[in-house]
Amino acid sequence: MKLPIALAGLVSLWGCGYIGEPMPPALNIPQAVKDLRVVQYGDRLVIDFTISSLTTEQLPVKQLGEIELRVGPGSTPFDASRWVAGAKEIPVAAEKPGAVQREVPAGEWTGKDVVVGVRLSNAHGRKSPWSNLALLQVQTPVPVPAAVKAEPTAAGVKLAWSGAAPSFRVFRKGPGEQKPSVIGETGKPEYLDASAQFDRAYEYIVQALRDKAESEVSAIVTVTPKDIFPPAPPSGLTVIIGVGTIELAWDRNTEPDLRGYRVHRAGENGEFRPIAEFVDVPAYSDRKFESGKRYRYSVTAMDQAGNESARSAAVDAIAP
């Protein structure tokens, strides 16, 4: 006898094994924020955090509900319930997971320790745990560095400005860069950018720091350093009289853009004149002279940009 088709289907399912109990519906609670950060920027608190794209059950977040961001004074010992009751709620609009930034006027908390926290809820109001809590001592705003100047030097671009703060942060934007990046910090109102290159345009800005408080950034100063700086004069020039030759030697210059040396000679009471151009080693042999005549020698160094150093100390020699 053949079974009806519907009954045959049930028999087939039973033969495949036990189906199991139905699973409860997912709660879809967003994961707690783990990277909350707050800094004071001028007269504002800047709060950053990231909303995860996953729920506590490792499922994709379908819809966010409320974002409860609170800022308020802390207590010792810290009491979370008391903090929540007294903290100010900051409106936050975010429709999807990702990075969130919110700026809040800091004036009402000046001179106080504040605690910042955030928690999320789903579309049905189910809340995540509180994020990591960020503690900050709100201060009077840090003065902005003023009168920033950029001066090209042989060692790099030297920056100087006015203003008093425990430390300063220096930003630079170079050719082809979309935004400035930090190149260093200093405890003095000056900084040397030794990595700057000649004939490249740079923008610099400076920010003052006090603990976790940051000033607003200074006005932009621009500079395109040019190589107008000659090498150091060669040192250690010596002379040795040989057979039919006067041998000169000196210490090698260390400038990375050195091109070579120029050798100068003068009669006993005459003026120095070049007798050799672009000598690439710190030595030279002079074979064109009048025997028995006294000569003076000096050497200069030249770089790739054509800058020439001052003359070295002179040495005397009597031609053989």
User: Which of 49-53, 95-99, 114-118, 295-299 bottoms out in mean pLDDT, i.e. has the lowest?
Assistant: 95-99
CATH architecture of 238-318: Sandwich (2.60)
Rounded CA separation 269/317 (Å): 13
CB 161 within 8 A of CB 146: yes
Question: pLDDT averaged over the chain?
Answer: 90
Which conformational region is residue 147 in: left (phi greater than 0), alpha (psi within -120 to 50 degrees), or beta? Answer: left
SS3 content of the chain, % helix, strand, coil (to 5): 5, 45, 50
SS3 assignment, position 73: strand
Q: Are 282 and 252 in contact (CB under 8 A)?
A: yes
Q: Per-residue confidence at 28, pLDDT binned at 50, 70, 90? A: confident
Q: Is there a contact between 217 and 41 (Cβ–Cβ < 8 Å)? A: no
pLDDT band at 81 (very low <50, low <70, confident <90, very high): confident
CA distance 84 to 49: 19
Helices and strands, number each (H, E), in the chain: 2, 22
Query: How far, CA to CA in Å, does 235 sit from each of 166, 254, 308?
Result: 42, 11, 14
Q: Report pLDDT for 23.
A: 54
Task: Give yes or no for residue 181 having a pLDDT over 80.
Answer: yes
**In CATH, 37-137 is 1.10.8.60:** no
CB 287 within 8 A of CB 245: yes
Work out the angle at residue 63's Cα, subtended by the Cα atoms of residues 102 and 115, and round it to the nearest 5 degrees: 30
Domain 146-223 matching CATH 2.60.40.420: the answer reads no
Q: Report the Cα–Cα distance between both ends of the chain, in Å, rounded.
A: 134
Distance CA 82, CA 291 (A): 101
φ/ψ of residue 319, rounded to 5:
-65, 140
Token pair in block for residue 319: 């031609």
For residue range 200-251, what is the model confidence (pLDDT) as tens digits? Answer: 999 999 999 998 899 999 999 999 999 999 999 999 999 999 999 999 999 9
Position 77 scores a pLDDT of 84
CA distance 165 to 154: 28
Residue with tokens 């903090």: 83
CATH 2.60.40.10 segments of the chain: 37-137, 146-223, 238-318
Tens digit of each residue's pLDDT (9 = 90 or more) over 127-159: 999 999 999 999 999 999 999 999 999 999 999
Give CA–CA dist 165/179, Å, rounded. 25
Q: How far apart are CA 205 and CA 212, in angstroms?
A: 19
| Entry field: residues in the chain | 320
